Amino acid sequence: MNMLTDFPVSLIVLCSGFILILIGLWGMLTQQNMIRIIIGFSLMDTGIHMVMVSIGYVTGGTAPIINNAVPINEAVNLVVDPVPSALVLTAIVIGLGVTAVMLSFAVRLHKAHRTLKIDELTESKW
C-alpha cells in the first residue's frame, strides 16, 4: 500500500513513453508495409512526447495557467514546468507535418509501383 502511494505518477508516464518508443522502433524496423512503418513512426513520436511531458512534471503540480485555483503569488509552488509543455506543443505539430509528407510519399510510391511493400522497391537498394 505504501509503495503504491510513494510511486511517482510521472514515472508511469515515463515508462509508458519508453515502451511506446520501443514498440514504434520495432514496427519501423520489422514491418514491410509502408503504412505500418508510418504508424510505427507515429507511435515513437507519441512515446517521445510522453517522455518529455513526464520530465516536466513537478510533484503535485497542476497546469501552468493562472486562475482562481492557482493564485498569481503562489503559482511558483503549484504548477508544473511550462517549458517542456511548450516544446511538446512544437513537437506535435512538426510530427504531424512529417507524417503528412511520409504519407504522400507512400501514395506516390503506391501509384508508381502498385505496391506498398517496401522490399519490392529494389531500385534504391544498395
Partner 1 sequence: MIKRLFIFMMLALMATIFFNLASNYDEKSTLSKLGHYYVEKGPQEIGAPNLVTAVVVTYRGLDTLGEVTVLFISAAGVGLLLRRSRRKQDGERPEENIRASKPASEIVETATQLLLPMIILFGIYVFMNGHLSPGGGFQGGAIIASGTMFLLLALPESHLSRLMIAITESLSGFSYVVVGVLGVILAGGFLDNRFMDLGTYGDLFSAGAIPLIYTFVGLKVGFELSAVLDRFRQEESA
Q: Which of 32, 35, 62, 93 binds partner 1 (CB under 8 A)?
A: 93
At CA 85, angle to CA 80 and CA 86, rounded to 5? 130
Q: Which of 32, 35, 62, 94 binds partner 1 (CB under 8 A)?
A: 94
Stretch that binds partner 1, among 31-39, 60-68, 116-124 (CB under 8 A): 60-68
At CA 30, angle to CA 26 and CA 32, rounded to 5? 135
Q: Which grid coordinates are listed for 106?
A: 507512400
Stretch that binds partner 1, among 31-39, 76-84, 112-120 (CB under 8 A): 76-84
Residue owning grid cell 504519407: 103
Q: Which grid coordinates are listed for 123?
A: 531500385
- # of chain residues touching partner 1 (CB under 8 A): 46
At CA 125, angle to CA 121 and CA 28, rounded to 5? 70
At CA 92, angle to CA 100 and CA 11, rounded to 5? 135
Distance CA 5, CA 60 (A): 13
Residues in contact with partner 1, shown as a per-residue x/- string from 26 to 55 under the rule CB under 8 A: x--xx-------------------------
Say whether residue 13 binds partner 1 (CB under 8 A).
Answer: no
| Chain residues that interact with partner 1, rule: CB under 8 A | 8-11, 14-15, 18, 21-22, 25-26, 29-30, 56-59, 63-67, 72, 75-76, 79, 81-83, 85-86, 89-90, 92-94, 96-98, 100-101, 103-105, 107-108
